[in-house]
Amino acid sequence: MSVEYDRIVKTTTWSPGPGCHGGCGAKLYVKGDKVVKVEGDECHPWNQGRGCSRLLAMTQFMYHKDRILYPLKRVGPRGDGRFERITWDEAYDTIEKKFNEIKQDYGANAVIFIQGTGRDIGGPMSIVAYNYGSANWSQLGLGGQACYGPRLGAMSAVQGDNAIADCSQFLEKRYDDPRYKIPKYIMIWAQDPTRGCPDGFYGNWIIDCVKRGSKLIVIDPRQNFLTSRAEHHVQLRPGTDGAVAMGMLNLIITHKWYDKEFVENWCSGFEELSDRVKEWTPEKVEAVTWVPKEILYEATKAYATSSPGCAIQWGLPIDQAPDGVHVAQAINDIWAITGNLDVPGGQVIARNGYHVSAYPFDNYQLADMFGDDFVEQVVQKRIGSEEYGWLRKWRCYIQPDVAVQQMLTQRPYPIRATWIQTANPVANAADQKLHYEALKAMDFNVVVDLFHNPTTMSVADIILPAATFAERTGFRSWFEPVQVIQPAVQVGECKNDWDIACEMAARFNPDFRRRFPNGFADYMNWRLEPAGETYQSLIDKGGWKWAEDPGELESKVPWLPYYRYKTGALRADGKPGFRTPSGKVELFSTQNADWGSTGATIVDPLPHYQEPAESELATPEVFKKYPLVMITGRRSPVFFHSEHRNIPWLRECDPWPDVEIHPSVARDLKVEEGEWVWVENDRGRIRRKVKINAGIHPKTVSCMHGWWLPETDGRSPNLFGAFDVGVNNLIPIGLQARTGYGGNGYKTTLVRLVKMGGSETGTPCNPPVGVWGK
């Protein structure tokens, strides 16, 4: 599409707009005061010119007729949909006054600060929460804290660092760097990275590697683009990844396919692990997981006997498996004992360049930023920390399933208000109605968002309009490189989340204003200091900075690959080894046990398999009634969670809230493609349109999450159809494992399909059709 423009602004994508975990270099074409076109920046080593459909549709997003352009206050009863424009000053003053009253009456912990996934929001959110003085920073609605947390936790416990599939992303010359080797195999485990660039990983790197010779093994209950290119497709029963991993470990150890030298010198607990996986014979794995033992054998052999130099790229369903931490631990053990850790083309240790970070991810960073006393005080009150040691000792978020109950019961201490920034719990939280009830019970809710949605309509008292990435200043340091976000234009009175947060932080804590008199500009430069840069100096360099690289294969720079465990680069004491108490990869993880065990809760130091809470094996009586395993949330490339249903170019690609079923299920039910059906269980029922897909396992169905219908009535009780089509009406909370993490029913809830009869109809929604080309 060629357009007339005056100038191009080069920047970094992150969050509002495409919605994503971000990282692309992007070019914004500006004409006058408007962005007229957006595309990937071909000079940026990260994405090399590419961009997703949501990036390309930015102009429809930014200038959408329904975009909230000014601060609003509610004027009618909640749910009535009546809001009035106010000034930023009035909005800030109202919030400051109300939050200070709550602090006085109930204490600062009575306000919960709610964010969604890891967008450019951890920084703003932690700043407001902690400067206000609340311990309760959360991903409310994310049952089992089941997004990346379990994987990150397991890696921290077992090997002391995160690791990701090596697609050369830590080297500025990328695939051309002579130290880099293409992975011989990439095992894509419970992920479809091409759709979503999850967790700082650009999805199309997988395709780059395949083009350069990598072979694929894909572990997924459903066929997709990647399974169609895979040498091995392990089509498992949802939620049984733990059993597959234990079976793989069994095969690797029995057949001596592991890396003896690495295990002897760099791992501890191998004997205990070997004992633990003994029972997981291929026959047992087949009985539990539906995976034919021959397929398990061939896939494991391909990966293990080609190692070192093989990678695993893993995804969300591992966190959402029962006891996600222990499943992740098993998979971590697979790459460790096959010698793939921090080798070219393996599992590269992933640290942020120069250790630049935007926000305090865990207690250690929190102590650096706010002091030990503050941490001591926060961890006592952090919701869930009494039951779950991990919540006390590791990551900063509260336990979301416990939090929603506390909002409803007001025990052990009251919760009276929320600050919601980048979350839409009424449409997207597990057990969304329960969250709706909990939010309704609050005295005061602030929502910072870009559009009205079921949450703003039903519970917001003040709404603050947020700017898209194209309208904001910022920085990004998620792995490599360190880079800046530059504004191209202003839209309405929308503001950067960071500016909103810094203003509130300064109002709640005068020290913040004294330390950062220019607000976010000062704060950002402080965070960039470890890289020896400022916002302006990075712009002068072209917008990003990769780590300066001495070019050695065995790196002495903590954030540069490879073989850092040999050089001492990973440990504070400078000794060779990993950042664990023993310096080894702890297959028997003392840290997992130590962090997790508190009072009555004892956490297993070894990996194990746990059956889903609801299943053919665990609850045969429920299974009889509801014989289909529902996977939810597989990502659509045109939506980010509950967003983008209102963007015509995007919605046209994926217009309906559907349920994917196997042809045999359609035959049994006598339903046709496009017919509306009920998807139901004891928790409720939702309407969905049938989509027949021969690539889904016949005993499973798939429903995308986050659905609501912006084209329908937003007022209560319809709330844009959130309770009519939203799959989280059927998904429970409270299934977290002993760590407090994982175990939600997002991928394992049992349902049945019911054909509609009599006067029952589909939802009267009206997706845009034929908008392309307009």
Ligand X SMILES: Nc1nc2c(c(=O)[nH]1)N[C@H]1C(S)=C(S)[C@@H](COP(=O)(O)OP(=O)(O)OC[C@H]3O[C@@H](n4cnc5c(=O)[nH]c(N)nc54)[C@H](O)[C@@H]3O)O[C@H]1N2
427 neighbors 441 (Cβ within 8 angstroms): no
**24 lines the binding site for ligand SF4 (CB under 6 A):** yes
55 binds, among ligand SF4, Mo ion, ligand X, none (CB under 5 to 8 A by kind): ligand SF4
Q: Binding segment for ligand SF4 among 51-59, 470-478, 511-519, 627-635 (CB under 6 A)?
A: 51-59
Which of 42, 213, 238, 117 has its CA nearest to residue 699? 238
Pairing of strands 111-114, 417-421: parallel
Separation of alpha carbons 147 and 624, rounded Å:
30
**684 lines the binding site for ligand X (CB under 6 A):** no
From residue 420 to residue 449, what is the string marking binding to ligand X with x (rule CB under 6 A)?
-xxxx--xx-------------------xx
Minimal distance, residue 272 CB to ligand X, in Å: 26
Cβ proximity to ligand X: between 414 and 767 the closer is: 767
13 binds, among ligand SF4, ligand X, Mo ion, none (CB under 5 to 8 A by kind): ligand SF4
Cβ proximity to ligand X: between 722 and 765 the closer is: 722
Which of 714, 766, 690, 232 has its CA nearest to residue 452? 714
Token digits of residue 63: 């200038």
**424 lines the binding site for Mo ion (CB under 5 A):** no
State the helix-helix crossing angle for 372-381 and 363-370, rounded to 10 degrees. Answer: 130
Interacting residues of 632 by C-beta distance below 8 A, sequence separation 6+:
702, 703, 704, 705, 727, 728, 731, 746, 747, 749
Q: Pick left, alpha or beta for residue 72 (phi over 0 → left; psi -120 to 50 → alpha; otherwise beta).
A: beta
Where is 165: in which H helix or E strand?
strand 163-165
Where is 753: in which H helix or E strand?
strand 749-755
Which of 629, 630, 636 has its CA nearest to residue 192? 636
Cβ proximity to ligand X: between 156 and 642 the closer is: 642
**451 lines the binding site for ligand X (CB under 6 A):** yes
From residue 545 to residue 574, what is the string marking binding to ligand X with x (rule CB under 6 A)?
------------------------------
**646 lines the binding site for ligand X (CB under 6 A):** no
Task: For Cα atoms 631, 634, 640, give the angle at the middle one, nearest 5 degrees.
Answer: 135
Where is 189: in which H helix or E strand?
strand 185-189
Taking the CA of residue 51 as centre, how many other CA atoms within 13 Å lie in the half-sphere pointing to its CB?
27
445 neighbors 135 (Cβ within 8 angstroms): no
Pairing of strands 482-485, 676-681: unpaired
Token pair 């395993």 is found at 629
**55 lines the binding site for ligand SF4 (CB under 6 A):** yes
18 binds, among ligand X, Mo ion, ligand SF4, none (CB under 5 to 8 A by kind): ligand SF4
Cβ proximity to Mo ion: between 160 and 238 the closer is: 238
Separation of alpha carbons 433 and 411, rounded Å:
20
Which residue in the set 637, 762, 767, 768 belongs to the binding site for ligand X (CB under 6 A)?
637
**147 lines the binding site for Mo ion (CB under 5 A):** yes
Cβ proximity to Mo ion: between 708 and 746 the closer is: 746
Cβ proximity to ligand X: between 288 and 569 the closer is: 288
Cβ proximity to ligand SF4: between 16 and 143 the closer is: 16
* Number of chain positions touching Mo ion (CB under 5 A): 2
Cβ proximity to ligand SF4: between 23 and 465 the closer is: 23
Interacting residues of 754 by C-beta distance below 8 A, sequence separation 6+:
677, 678, 680, 685
Minimal distance, residue 471 CB to ligand X, in Å: 11
Minimal distance, residue 552 CB to ligand X, in Å: 33
- The secondary structure of residue 547, as a DSSP letter, is P
Which residue in the set 123, 144, 269, 315 belongs to the binding site for ligand X (CB under 6 A)?
315
**607 lines the binding site for ligand SF4 (CB under 6 A):** no
Cβ neighbours, 10 Å, residue 89: 9
Task: For Cα atoms 244, 249, 253, give the angle at the middle one, nearest 5 degrees.
Answer: 150
Token pair 């009863």 is found at 77
Q: Binding segment for ligand X among 112-120, 269-277, 325-333, 673-681 (CB under 6 A)?
A: 112-120
**561 lines the binding site for ligand SF4 (CB under 6 A):** no
Token pair 């029963």 is found at 237
End-to-end CA distance of the chain: 12
From residue 461 to residue 500, what is the string marking binding to ligand X with x (rule CB under 6 A)?
-----x------------------------------x---
Cβ proximity to ligand SF4: between 36 and 369 the closer is: 36
Minimal distance, residue 338 CB to ligand X, in Å: 19
**52 lines the binding site for ligand SF4 (CB under 6 A):** yes
Q: Binding segment for ligand SF4 among 21-29, 111-119, 206-214, 320-328 (CB under 6 A)?
A: 21-29
23 binds, among Mo ion, ligand SF4, ligand X, none (CB under 5 to 8 A by kind): ligand SF4
3-class SS of residue 10: strand
Token digits of residue 343: 């080798």
Scan residues 94-133 and list those touching Mo ion (CB under 5 A): 117
Which residue in the set 10, 11, 16, 18 belongs to the binding site for ligand SF4 (CB under 6 A)?
18
* Number of chain positions touching ligand SF4 (CB under 6 A): 12
Scan residues 229-258 and list those touching ligand X (CB under 6 A): 236, 238-239, 241
219 binds, among Mo ion, ligand X, ligand SF4, none (CB under 5 to 8 A by kind): ligand X
* Number of chain positions touching ligand X (CB under 6 A): 62
331 neighbors 314 (Cβ within 8 angstroms): yes
From residue 177 to residue 216, what is the string marking binding to ligand SF4 with x (rule CB under 6 A)?
--------------------x-------------------
The runs of H, that is alpha helices, within 587-644 are 590-596, 620-625
**332 lines the binding site for ligand X (CB under 6 A):** no
Kindly provide the b/e burial profile for residues 716-741, where b requires at least 16 CB atoms within 10 angstroms of the residue's own CB.
Answer: bebbbbbbbbbbbbbbbbbbbbbbbb
Binding residues vs ligand X (CB under 6 A): 15-16, 19-20, 116-117, 119-121, 142, 147, 189-192, 195-196, 198, 219-222, 224, 236, 238-239, 241, 315-317, 421-424, 427-428, 448-451, 453, 466, 497, 631-637, 639-643, 705-706, 727-728, 731, 746-747
Binding residues vs ligand SF4 (CB under 6 A): 13, 18, 20, 22-24, 47, 51-52, 54-55, 197
